[in-house]
A = this chain, B = another copy of it.
Amino acid sequence: MPPVSGVSILPVVGLPEIEAGADLAAMIAALEPLADGDVVVITSKIVSKAEGCATELDGVIPSTFAVEWGERWEKDPRVVEVVLRESNRIVRQIGPVLITETKHGFVCANSGVDQSSSGAHDRILTLPVDPDASARRARDRFAELGVRVAVVVTDTFGRPWREGQTDIAIGVAGINPLRSYIGEVDPHGHEFRVQEICVADELAAAGELVKGNTSRVPVAVIRGFEFEFDDEATMAPVIRDSSRDLFR
Protein backbone atom coordinates (compact mmCIF):
# COMPACT_ATOMS: atom_id res chain seq x y z
CA MET A 1 0.00 0.00 0.00
CA PRO A 2 1.45 3.41 -0.92
CA PRO A 3 1.77 6.03 1.81
CA VAL A 4 -1.62 7.48 2.59
CA SER A 5 -2.04 11.18 2.12
CA GLY A 6 -4.52 13.28 4.01
CA VAL A 7 -8.27 13.26 3.69
CA SER A 8 -10.41 16.41 3.68
CA ILE A 9 -13.97 16.69 4.93
CA LEU A 10 -15.71 19.66 3.35
CA PRO A 11 -19.11 20.95 4.39
CA VAL A 12 -21.50 21.85 1.59
CA VAL A 13 -22.90 25.14 2.81
CA GLY A 14 -25.89 27.00 1.43
CA LEU A 15 -28.50 24.40 0.53
CA PRO A 16 -32.02 25.81 0.81
CA GLU A 17 -34.93 24.02 2.47
CA ILE A 18 -35.41 20.92 0.33
CA GLU A 19 -38.76 20.37 -1.38
CA ALA A 20 -40.18 17.21 -2.92
CA GLY A 21 -38.74 16.72 -6.39
CA ALA A 22 -35.54 18.65 -5.70
CA ASP A 23 -32.53 17.71 -7.82
CA LEU A 24 -30.18 17.26 -4.87
CA ALA A 25 -27.12 16.26 -6.89
CA ALA A 26 -27.32 19.34 -9.09
CA MET A 27 -27.84 21.57 -6.06
CA ILE A 28 -24.81 20.04 -4.31
CA ALA A 29 -22.59 20.23 -7.38
CA ALA A 30 -23.50 23.90 -7.84
CA LEU A 31 -22.38 24.70 -4.29
CA GLU A 32 -19.22 22.59 -4.08
CA PRO A 33 -17.04 21.89 -7.11
CA LEU A 34 -16.63 18.11 -7.00
CA ALA A 35 -13.66 16.06 -8.18
CA ASP A 36 -13.44 12.50 -9.44
CA GLY A 37 -12.96 10.17 -6.47
CA ASP A 38 -14.86 12.32 -3.98
CA VAL A 39 -17.32 10.67 -1.61
CA VAL A 40 -20.49 12.73 -1.23
CA VAL A 41 -22.12 12.12 2.16
CA ILE A 42 -25.80 13.08 2.23
CA THR A 43 -28.06 13.13 5.27
CA SER A 44 -31.09 10.95 4.63
CA LYS A 45 -33.41 13.66 5.91
CA ILE A 46 -32.95 15.75 2.77
CA VAL A 47 -33.18 12.64 0.60
CA SER A 48 -36.51 11.85 2.25
CA LYS A 49 -37.66 15.41 1.63
CA ALA A 50 -36.59 15.36 -2.01
CA GLU A 51 -38.28 12.00 -2.52
CA GLY A 52 -41.45 13.00 -0.71
CA CYS A 53 -41.04 10.37 2.03
CA ALA A 54 -43.39 12.17 4.37
CA THR A 55 -46.62 11.01 5.97
CA GLU A 56 -49.50 13.36 6.74
CA LEU A 57 -50.63 12.42 10.22
CA ASP A 58 -54.22 13.46 9.43
CA GLY A 59 -54.63 10.40 7.26
CA VAL A 60 -53.15 7.87 9.71
CA ILE A 61 -55.55 5.63 11.63
CA PRO A 62 -53.63 4.14 14.56
CA SER A 63 -54.07 0.51 15.59
CA THR A 64 -55.24 -0.41 19.07
CA PHE A 65 -51.63 -1.20 20.00
CA ALA A 66 -50.47 2.22 18.79
CA VAL A 67 -53.25 3.93 20.75
CA GLU A 68 -52.41 2.09 23.96
CA TRP A 69 -48.67 2.58 23.54
CA GLY A 70 -49.19 6.26 22.77
CA GLU A 71 -51.35 6.76 25.83
CA ARG A 72 -48.89 4.98 28.05
CA TRP A 73 -45.91 7.05 26.94
CA GLU A 74 -47.66 10.30 25.95
CA LYS A 75 -46.81 9.85 22.29
CA ASP A 76 -49.00 10.72 19.33
CA PRO A 77 -50.54 7.32 18.47
CA ARG A 78 -50.45 8.23 14.78
CA VAL A 79 -46.67 8.63 14.99
CA VAL A 80 -46.44 5.28 16.79
CA GLU A 81 -48.51 3.77 14.00
CA VAL A 82 -46.13 5.09 11.34
CA VAL A 83 -43.15 3.74 13.30
CA LEU A 84 -44.79 0.31 13.33
CA ARG A 85 -45.65 0.46 9.63
CA GLU A 86 -42.03 1.27 8.80
CA SER A 87 -40.80 -1.78 10.74
CA ASN A 88 -40.35 -5.46 10.08
CA ARG A 89 -40.52 -6.06 13.81
CA ILE A 90 -39.93 -4.58 17.22
CA VAL A 91 -36.54 -5.60 18.60
CA ARG A 92 -36.86 -3.99 22.05
CA GLN A 93 -39.01 -1.45 23.84
CA ILE A 94 -37.00 0.97 25.97
CA GLY A 95 -39.30 3.34 27.80
CA PRO A 96 -41.06 5.38 25.12
CA VAL A 97 -38.57 4.35 22.45
CA LEU A 98 -39.24 1.45 20.13
CA ILE A 99 -36.10 -0.21 18.81
CA THR A 100 -37.24 -1.66 15.51
CA GLU A 101 -35.89 -3.47 12.52
CA THR A 102 -36.81 -1.30 9.55
CA LYS A 103 -38.11 -2.62 6.26
CA HIS A 104 -34.52 -2.28 4.98
CA GLY A 105 -33.19 -4.48 7.80
CA PHE A 106 -31.56 -1.69 9.85
CA VAL A 107 -32.04 -1.77 13.61
CA CYS A 108 -32.66 1.67 15.08
CA ALA A 109 -34.94 3.76 17.26
CA ASN A 110 -38.46 4.43 16.01
CA SER A 111 -37.74 3.03 12.53
CA GLY A 112 -35.80 6.20 11.78
CA VAL A 113 -39.04 8.22 11.76
CA ASP A 114 -38.33 11.89 12.31
CA GLN A 115 -40.93 14.28 13.60
CA SER A 116 -38.54 17.22 13.72
CA SER A 117 -37.63 19.36 10.74
CA SER A 118 -40.41 18.01 8.58
CA GLY A 119 -41.61 21.51 7.88
CA ALA A 120 -44.96 20.97 9.53
CA HIS A 121 -46.24 19.65 12.83
CA ASP A 122 -48.73 17.32 11.23
CA ARG A 123 -46.27 15.64 8.89
CA ILE A 124 -43.45 13.23 9.68
CA LEU A 125 -40.48 12.13 7.62
CA THR A 126 -39.70 8.48 7.07
CA LEU A 127 -36.45 6.99 5.79
CA PRO A 128 -36.00 6.74 2.02
CA VAL A 129 -37.73 3.62 0.70
CA ASP A 130 -34.55 2.29 -0.92
CA PRO A 131 -31.52 4.31 0.22
CA ASP A 132 -29.14 2.39 -2.07
CA ALA A 133 -31.30 3.40 -5.01
CA SER A 134 -31.33 6.98 -3.74
CA ALA A 135 -27.55 6.95 -3.59
CA ARG A 136 -27.34 5.38 -7.03
CA ARG A 137 -29.62 7.98 -8.57
CA ALA A 138 -27.56 10.79 -7.04
CA ARG A 139 -24.33 9.15 -8.25
CA ASP A 140 -25.74 8.78 -11.77
CA ARG A 141 -26.79 12.42 -11.73
CA PHE A 142 -23.30 13.51 -10.61
CA ALA A 143 -21.91 11.45 -13.50
CA GLU A 144 -24.20 13.31 -15.90
CA LEU A 145 -22.77 16.51 -14.46
CA GLY A 146 -19.28 15.27 -15.27
CA VAL A 147 -17.83 13.84 -12.03
CA ARG A 148 -17.29 10.24 -11.00
CA VAL A 149 -17.95 10.06 -7.26
CA ALA A 150 -19.26 7.67 -4.63
CA VAL A 151 -22.34 8.52 -2.56
CA VAL A 152 -23.18 7.58 1.03
CA VAL A 153 -26.65 8.29 2.42
CA THR A 154 -26.57 8.57 6.21
CA ASP A 155 -28.79 8.58 9.23
CA THR A 156 -28.09 9.13 12.93
CA PHE A 157 -28.44 5.96 15.00
CA GLY A 158 -27.97 5.09 18.65
CA ARG A 159 -26.00 2.08 19.78
CA PRO A 160 -26.48 -0.46 22.54
CA TRP A 161 -23.93 -0.16 25.36
CA ARG A 162 -22.77 3.32 24.39
CA GLU A 163 -24.43 6.68 24.98
CA GLY A 164 -24.59 9.21 22.20
CA GLN A 165 -25.53 8.66 18.60
CA THR A 166 -23.33 8.62 15.52
CA ASP A 167 -23.98 8.96 11.83
CA ILE A 168 -23.95 5.67 9.96
CA ALA A 169 -24.56 4.67 6.34
CA ILE A 170 -27.97 3.48 5.18
CA GLY A 171 -27.30 3.67 1.44
CA VAL A 172 -24.24 3.55 -0.79
CA ALA A 173 -23.38 3.85 -4.46
CA GLY A 174 -20.02 3.40 -6.12
CA ILE A 175 -18.17 2.18 -3.02
CA ASN A 176 -18.14 -1.17 -1.25
CA PRO A 177 -19.30 -0.42 2.30
CA LEU A 178 -16.89 -3.02 3.70
CA ARG A 179 -13.11 -3.19 3.32
CA SER A 180 -11.82 -6.69 3.91
CA TYR A 181 -8.57 -7.69 5.56
CA ILE A 182 -9.47 -11.37 5.62
CA GLY A 183 -6.45 -13.56 4.87
CA GLU A 184 -3.97 -10.71 5.21
CA VAL A 185 -1.25 -11.19 7.81
CA ASP A 186 0.78 -8.81 9.91
CA PRO A 187 4.59 -8.65 9.86
CA HIS A 188 4.68 -11.45 12.45
CA GLY A 189 2.55 -13.79 10.36
CA HIS A 190 -0.60 -13.44 12.44
CA GLU A 191 -3.93 -12.87 10.79
CA PHE A 192 -5.35 -9.51 11.67
CA ARG A 193 -7.82 -9.40 14.53
CA VAL A 194 -9.75 -6.94 12.40
CA GLN A 195 -11.28 -8.70 9.45
CA GLU A 196 -13.60 -6.21 7.83
CA ILE A 197 -13.92 -2.48 8.35
CA CYS A 198 -17.22 -0.79 7.58
CA VAL A 199 -15.73 2.19 5.76
CA ALA A 200 -19.20 3.39 4.77
CA ASP A 201 -20.04 3.94 8.44
CA GLU A 202 -16.69 5.64 9.04
CA LEU A 203 -17.27 7.97 6.07
CA ALA A 204 -20.72 8.75 7.47
CA ALA A 205 -19.23 9.50 10.88
CA ALA A 206 -16.49 11.66 9.38
CA GLY A 207 -19.08 13.62 7.41
CA GLU A 208 -21.03 14.38 10.58
CA LEU A 209 -17.99 16.19 12.00
CA VAL A 210 -18.64 19.06 9.58
CA LYS A 211 -22.36 18.60 9.03
CA GLY A 212 -23.62 18.78 12.55
CA ASN A 213 -27.23 18.24 13.41
CA THR A 214 -28.26 21.82 14.02
CA SER A 215 -26.06 23.71 11.61
CA ARG A 216 -28.21 22.99 8.58
CA VAL A 217 -25.31 21.50 6.66
CA PRO A 218 -26.78 18.21 5.48
CA VAL A 219 -24.03 17.31 2.99
CA ALA A 220 -20.29 16.78 3.26
CA VAL A 221 -17.72 15.95 0.62
CA ILE A 222 -14.85 13.65 1.59
CA ARG A 223 -11.85 14.14 -0.62
CA GLY A 224 -8.65 12.11 -0.75
CA PHE A 225 -10.04 8.86 0.65
CA GLU A 226 -8.45 5.96 -1.20
CA PHE A 227 -10.90 3.42 -2.57
CA GLU A 228 -11.78 1.62 -5.75
CA PHE A 229 -15.10 2.28 -7.41
CA ASP A 230 -17.62 -0.54 -7.16
CA ASP A 231 -20.56 0.12 -9.45
CA GLU A 232 -22.62 -2.73 -7.96
CA ALA A 233 -22.19 -1.77 -4.30
CA THR A 234 -25.14 -1.83 -1.91
CA MET A 235 -25.56 -1.92 1.88
CA ALA A 236 -26.57 -5.59 1.74
CA PRO A 237 -23.24 -6.97 3.04
CA VAL A 238 -23.50 -4.72 6.12
CA ILE A 239 -26.91 -5.98 7.17
CA ARG A 240 -26.18 -8.88 9.49
CA ASP A 241 -28.20 -11.97 8.90
CA SER A 242 -30.31 -12.71 11.96
CA SER A 243 -28.77 -16.19 12.09
CA ARG A 244 -25.46 -14.51 12.96
CA ASP A 245 -27.04 -12.14 15.43
CA LEU A 246 -27.55 -12.83 19.12
CA PHE A 247 -28.89 -9.39 19.93
CA ARG A 248 -32.11 -9.35 17.92
Which residues of chain A have a CB within 8 Å of any CB of chain B? 1, 3-11, 13, 92, 94, 99, 106-107, 114-121, 156, 159-168, 177-179, 181, 184, 186-188, 190-199, 201-203, 205-206, 208-215, 217, 222, 225, 237-240, 244-248
Q: Are A107 and B238 in contact (CB under 8 A)?
A: no
Q: Are A217 and B13 in contact (CB under 8 A)?
A: no
| CB-contact partner of A162 in B156, B161, B206, B240, under 8 A | B240
A237-B190 contact in complex given A206-B9, A209-B199, C-beta closer than 8 Å? no
A5-B1 contact in complex given A94-B246, A184-B214, A213-B197, C-beta closer than 8 Å? no
Bound-state CA distance A147–B114 (Å) is 42
Q: Which residue of B lies closest to A3 (CB)?
A: B13
Q: Are B118 and A188 in contact (CB under 8 A)?
A: yes
Q: Are A239 and B1 in contact (CB under 8 A)?
A: no
Q: Are B247 and A193 in contact (CB under 8 A)?
A: no
Bound-state CA distance A194–B112 (Å) is 11
Q: How far is the CB of A245 from chain B (nearest CB, A)?
A: 6
